[in-house]
Structure 1
Amino acid sequence: MATTRIALIGGFAPRRCGIATFTADIHSALGIASNAIAIDIYAMKPAGARFQFDAAVTSTITENSLNSFVAAAAKINRSGADIVWLQHEFGLFGGPAGDLILELLERVAAPLIVTLHTVLPEPDADQLRVIQELVARAAKLIVMSEGAGRLLHTVYGADADQVVVIPHGVPDRPFGRTQEFKRKFGFDDRQVMMTFGLLSSGKGIETVIEALPAIVEKTPGTLYCIVGATHPNLLAREGEAYRERLQAQAKALGVADHILWRDAFLESDELLDLIEAADIYVTAYPGAAQATSGTLSYAVALGKAVISTPFAHALELLGDEHGILVPFNDSDAIAREVASLLDEPDRRLALQQRAYARGRDMLWSSFAAQSLRVIESVKIRRNLRHIHGPVGIEGLLRICDGTGILQHSIFTVPDRSHGYCVDDNARALMLMNRWGCETEPDRSRLASTFAAFVESAWNPESGEFRNFMGFDRKWLENAGSHDSCDRTIWALGATALEGNSAGMRRWARGLFDRTAQSAFGLTSPRATAFAMLGADYLLATETGHGLADRILNDGAMRLQALLDVHRRPVWLWFEPVLAYDNCRLSEAMIRAGLRSNRSDWTNSGLETLCWLFDIQIAPDGHFRPIGSESFGHAYQPPKPFDQQPVEIWAAIDAAAAAFDATGDPIWLTHAARAFEWFAGANDRGIAVACRASGSCHDGINPRGLNLNEGAESLLSFQLANCAIRDLLSLPE
């Protein structure tokens, strides 16, 4: 069995917090449960911390350090991690509501599992934003109570199949050793109550201390053990002032001699021994929002009689007479229930036995087994579908009508509300040039429809193409974007050369001559590249065509100037940022160099394309197109998501241009690798396109497929299929 590599992010020993303990317990439990798991621990480190992490830690991430999160993401990607598993708590990472963790997560490609240790019913704006972003990215969200799962659905919008409830893991110890451990700690003649965990005002300890006088009056030998160091955040803010207030309260009530303070973060074995010495465990959270309590889980698993306020986790864990629930902030109720249990040993023993029995379902071995099932459910399996060869046309026919091709679909249903655009109709016209005769009469009919749309898009008053048209056939603008205008010029040049009838070729040539002047003066590098590609096609029909020659040469000089300005030792690109259709810029330079016999332009195109392909190959060798989340980040490495089919078509066309320029078969390899992305050779191991219908999903996001099938995606797959067919001389 192949090893599954997990990047486990959380605290870790010797850091003293609940998340660190939990992460260490996961590491240990999974190691025992499976020898087919390799775990790389990425331990959160407080800024300025001087302690030495356990040797099991692969790397540390310093909270509040953006560079540290970015570096960890790069290391995770290089490691070939199959899964990223995050232990989430708001205060662990830095930034508003701990949002710095998102800087890491948006850069990693492996599927994400998140264990949410706090799920708030009434989050503030930052907390809501962070959890919703985690929901958008996570393949699975693990919570430890059904109540937390419901909150994820109702408050944060998680899908039902995204949420998994796995109770907090607990140790496996024998039942009934209370007296043995009382002797160990010198509690032989005492009735012992206990609360443990990092000391903070949200634990309700004041209420328990307030109940002590009534308890001691009935059972004078009662000892209340308050175990745990002051929470580090509270300690940083006010030192030990909170503990001192509690101690002053106990002294004022005359019960100071009945409280044992263990002001320390105990190692696991010592802590468990101390819990075993208790008769009753008390948790008195003052509100219902507490989603999960690891301390409560430990007390139940060790067979303690538990008295708790009815916060969400306690309601689930202690229901059906597995514990006793008392109202919030009600010291009288706590006193009555403690006194009753201490006075009735048989009742107390029965409650302890029921608690212990419930704890058997929560052992770390069970947690590990359930976690392994979650891991297996999201692990990528790249079983490629056969996708080379002829593809169907039903998907395209579904979103076309007498006006043109509709922009979007809701899953497979055409979405009329967004109407049409010249971008898609221009691409669709190019596709009709490349479909084979076996698609007649649909090919000719649709070619005329798309050409008519392009013709009507030209606005002679503005001297530009319009882009968006409503479903009512009314244009929504006087001029479209520069990119859409020059993409249309590209389609006209291609149709002038490849149109499937003489009449179609004459029409395209004529409209090119009337409209291509609009390509001058545009600012977008992609618009420049699109117009250059159209001009190159036109020059293939007529060497020396003046307008096309100017577009091609002026464009190449502009792109070369941009490259000279923006290139850096590790940044070989025409812009300071990456965007969509990146490969078209390199392709245009290669084509311009070949057409104009300018080896410097060709070399610039090849050099930039090599750089671009290098950063689009994942560590295990599959193609990873630059995701839209990368756009606009100056001189930054690309982020993996969202991945879109248009990048695949562009990569194959650019590789074809590079092969024409060099004859080097490496470009055939690059093209084939990119095309296999459609078949499942991608970051989610899932087929994006369907050969039988010729349809294609809208891309890959962190959770998997975008299940919509819009025009751009479908056309990109169809055109990529034609391009790979021609490049590799595959049968039609």
Structure 2
Amino acid sequence: MTALDRIAFIGNSLPRRCGIATFTTDLQQAVAASAPDLATSIVAMNDGDGYDYPGSVGFQIRDERIEDYASAADFLNEGRFDIVSLQHEFGIFGGEAGAHIAGLLARLTMPVVTTLHTVLSKPSPAQRGVMERIVDASSRVVVMAEKGRDMLRNIYRLPADKIEVIAHGIPDFAFVEPDEAKARLGFAGRSVILTFGLLSPNKGIEVMIDAMPSILRRRPDAVYVVLGATHPHLVREQGETYRIGLQKRVHELGIEDHVVFLDQFVDRKTLLGFIAMCDVYVTPYLNEAQMTSGTLAYSFGLGKAVVSTPYWHAQELLADGRGVLVPFSDVVATGNEIAGLLTDSTRRQAMRRRAYASSRSMTWEQTAKRYLSTFETARRSRLLNVVAGTAQARPPLLPSAPPELRTDHLHCMCDDTGLFQHAVHSVPDRAHGYCVDDNARALLLSCLLGSAGERHLAEPLTARFASFVQHAWNPQARRFRNFMSFDRRWLEEVGSEDSHGRTLWALGECARSDTSPSRRRWAAALFAEALPAAESFSSPRAWGFALLGLDAYCAVVAAPSSTIQLRTLLADRLLALLSTVQTPDWVWFEEGLSYDNARLPQALIATGLSMQVPAYVDAGLRSLRWLVGVQSTPAGLFRPVGSESFGDRLSPPKAFDQQPLEATATISACLAAWRADGDAQWRTEALRAFAWFMGENDLSTPLVDLETGACRDGLHRDRPNENRGGESVVSYLLSLAEIRQLSRMSGDRPKLAPLRVLHA
């Protein structure tokens, strides 16, 4: 196995002001310094403020913008990073309990190692759910204290071999006496007590202020330095009220000459100078449930005498005489212990040396080595699991390697005009000619093949299908024709609304992803010319197809306001249908189920994500969840809505005839849902639908010929349909392309071509 080449870190990053930002930046720099040829990059979380990031930040996520998380996953996957190191703290990610980050992790192709900066002993249901999704997506989980390991095992039931304890890193700073730093910073001749970090009420600064009078009685030269800006979130909510309250308390006690507030966020060099000058460092935090304190680790690592309340990190780090623990909010004990250390230099020096000696394994150089070892273990485990077919991130229905993508039968079903509609067994049936529906589907497929690097397969097909679509356009009627006879006569002047909508969809995708710039321009121009007709359509599926086309088109074209208005109109129509028709038992847009059903929720999900309209996404997810439920057998197999159901009103779908189109639509819609909320169950449902092609169906009969890429037209009650028409082969190949992408995202990247998920 080759050495790690590329490592990405997700978390806050300097110059954002917070402990996670400092940690992420320090860890990235330490790992980068450990190997000259190792490339590293940070995916930085933003909280609404803009930051002047250095070049080490390769991508930024706006914490409440769900589409940014999907884009970040694309950035990481396309960047071929070997490992992602996630810094997790509930408050830095968007969604309920920070759920958006789970959606990002679910899409990644590489192993994830997550550092948990907080482990909650009593999580809310939402917090527990998010935590479980994160650890499930992680190959290894890192905590910084043994307490964290115990909680993960006992509360979250993680196996011991998945957890690593790696101490918070510290700078490798010499053991020095404080006098030189005191003189340089203006505190010569003073006994200095220091607290640093972002100010917030949970830090217990008021306890230390109240302890100062008793300290001054025994050590009149003492000064308490509070170094740090107020936490940005607190400033946004309350301004400087907390700091002003602390200053007021100092004034009331008459100790203004002995308490110094330095309202600044300092760089590492300046910070190390302040730590070097202090005689006692104090962390009077008010809450036991603090798994990690970077300020404690830094001061301890510089060999300082530390007085702290017994939060979890401090209990472990300061045990065995390496520091002093005092009860929470205990002013008397805090004052006595600090005064005792300031007046007993022998005890203080002994404590300092014990702390410094025991911290040498915590330097960032050593910490980086521990992380790199963990990264290597995570990657090795992932590769071994893939070989054994047991990768943790692999949904249960995913085969060890999806079938190869064979296009023999697709070529057989085409002539120089386009794709034939039907076949008798595997022989093209010329009697039924062609239709724009099937050629539009085929254009979608060929664009996908081209963008996935299969240009030698895609180019002649793409040109052929595009030519058919162009010829189908009737400029007088401003509509697409649909059916053409074998002798190239159009059998109608205007095709169905659904065929028009599906052709718009294909043109939108062609405008976005075709390998030919000229053809992309052609597709965009014809799309714009054909789009206005969709406003008068009454078919929900035509609306859905048009919305899928708009999703692709608007991603690459600066659409005019009229296009945006039409997009909103079509989505609102679907939303209104769902609101009007749905009941507690029937969460659907119509009173009956028909064909290509899953494209309706897919269209709403895709539109909601790109237009940032949560109501569209929610409606799409709800309706798709219901549809998936009615398309499942009691044994858990996928059972698409049978054509015998078409026209039935508010009735459970009939089982037959089952057609490939429904499986393909369900796979695409489930992957769109997965992109929307990151729930791994959507992947499972997509795989269940693909397994239908492979024989996991009511008749336990494979529908595909793996040697030629042909696909039977469906399942009857007692047998498969032996005909292998154009719609079926294109449906299967589209689904296979998406499942190959899903497999790559689950760890099989070396075996598979880099396909992307279509419309997801």
Which residue type is aligned with residue 580 of structure 1? R
Aligned to 2:43: 42
Equivalent residues in 2 for 1:124-163 (5 A)?
124-163=124-163
Shift of 1:191: 0.6
2:247 and 2:261 mapped to 1: Cα distance?
A: 9
CA–CA distance in structure 2, aligned partners of residues 566 and 624 of structure 1: 13
Determine the structure 2 residue equivalent to 1:580.
Answer: 688
| 8 Å Cα contact 1:193-1:278 kept in structure 2 | yes
CA contact (8 A) 1:593 1:602 kept: no
Find the partner of 1:606 among 729, 740, 751.
729
Q: Matches of 2:257 and 2:169 in 1, distance apart? A: 35
Match of 2:711 in 1: 590
- How many residues align structurally? 480
SS in 2 for 1:616: helix
Cα distance, 1:596 vs structure 2? 8.3
Question: Residue type matched to 1:28 in 2?
Answer: Q
Once the two structures are superposed, residues 293-350 of structure 1 have per-residue CA deviations (whole angstroms, 9 ceiling, x without a partner) of 1101111111111111111111111111111111111111111111111111122111
The superposition leaves residues 605-632 of structure 1 with CA deviations (integer Å, 9 ceiling, x where unpaired) of: 23233322333335xxxx817xxxxxxx
Mapped contact 2:121–2:151 kept (Cα < 8 A): yes
Residues 197-208 of structure 1 correspond to what in structure 2 (within 5 A)? 197-208=197-208
Q: Is residue 2:405 matched to residue 1:297?
A: no
From 617, 620, 625, the equivalent of 2:740 is 617
> In structure 2, what residue type is equivalent to 1:9?
I
Q: CA deviation at 1:127?
A: 2.1
Would you say the 8 A contact 1:70–1:104 is kept in 2? Answer: yes
Deviations 1:108-134 (Å, cap 9, x if unpaired)?
A: 132221101111222223222222222
Q: Is the 8 A contact 1:203 1:284 kept in 2?
A: yes
Please name the residue that 2:612 is paired with. Answer: none
Q: Which residue of 2 aligns with 1:281?
A: 281
- Which residue of 2 is the match for residue 424 of structure 1? none
Relative distance call for 1:155 and 1:562 in structure 2 (3 A) is closer
**1-structure distance, mates of 2:220, 2:340:** 14
Note the alpha carbon deviations across 1:188-220, whole angstroms, 9 max, x for none: 111100001110011111110000011112211
SS of the residue corresponding to residue 712 of structure 2 reads helix
The C-alpha deviation readout for 1:563-616, integer Å capped at 9, x for no partner, is: 899999x99xxx999452426459468324999897xx6222232333223333
> Residue 12 of structure 1 corresponds to which residue in structure 2?
13
Gaps of 5+ in 2: 390-395, 397-628, 648-652, 673-681, 695-702, 705-709, 754-760
- Structure of larger gyration radius: 1
Please list, as runs of the form range in 1=range in 2, the aligned pairs for 1:48-447 lying within 5 A after superposition.
49-380=49-380, 382=383
Aligned residue for 1:319, secondary structure, equals: coil
Change (3 A) 1:111 1:566: closer
Q: Tell me, yes or no, if the aligned pair for 1:482 and 1:522 is still in contact at 8 Å.
A: no
Report 1:487-566 matches (<5 A): 521=644
Deviations 1:150-201 (A, max 9, x none): 1111222221111111110000111123111011101111110000111001
Amino acid of the structure 2 residue aligned with 1:27: Q
Q: 1:565 to 1:121 in 2, by over 3 A?
A: closer
Q: Distance in 1 between matches of 2:74 and 2:638?
A: 40
Distance 1:159 1:268, change over 3 A: same
Classify 1:484/1:117 alpha carbon distance in 2 versus 1 (closer, same or farther; 3 Å): closer
Residues 637-670 of structure 1 deviation map (CA, whole Å, 9 limit, x = unaligned): xxx56x9xxxxxxxxxxxxxxxxxxxxxxxxxxx
Contact kept? 2:309, 2:326, Cα under 8 Å: yes
1:530 to partner: Cα distance: 13
Per-residue deviation at 1:56?
A: 1.0
Which consecutive residues of structure 1, in runs of 5 or more, have no partner in the other structure? 389-407, 409-479, 491-517, 532-550, 626-639, 644-675, 684-732
Amino acid at match of 1:188: A
Aligned with 2:194: secondary structure? strand
- Deviation for aligned residue 1:88: 0.5
- Specify the alignment match of 1:646 in structure 2: none
Q: Tell me, what secondary structure is at the counterpart of 1:306?
A: strand
What secondary structure, in the 3-state scheme, does the structure 2 residue paired with 1:582 have? helix
Question: Following TM superposition, by how much is the alpha carbon of 1:287 offset from its aligned partner in structure 2, in angstroms?
Answer: 2.6
Written as runs of structure 1 = structure 2, the 5 A alignment for 1:611-690 is 611-618=734-741, 624=743, 640=745
Deviation at 1:77, TM superposition (A): 1.8
1:3–1:523 CA distance, 2 compared to 1 (3 A): farther
What letter corresponds to residue 9 of structure 2 in structure 1? L
SS of the residue aligned with 1:617? helix
Counterpart of 2:356 in 1: which secondary structure?
helix
Query: Contact conserved, 1:583 with 1:612, CA < 8 A, in 2?
Result: no
Change (3 A) 1:332 1:482: closer
Aligned partner of 2:25: which letter? A
Counterparts of 1:565 and 1:183 in 2: how far apart (Å)?
71
Instruction: Tell me how far apart the structure 1 counterparts of residues 308 and 638 of structure 2 sit (CA, whole Å).
Output: 72
Show CA shifts across 1:254-308 (max 9, x none). Answer: 1122111111111111011111010100111123211111101111111111111
Identity of aligned residues (%): 36
Alignment check: 8 A CA contact 1:384 1:681 kept: no
Q: From the superposition, tell whether residues 682 and 289 of structure 1 become closer, same or farther in structure 2 (CA, over 3 Å).
A: farther
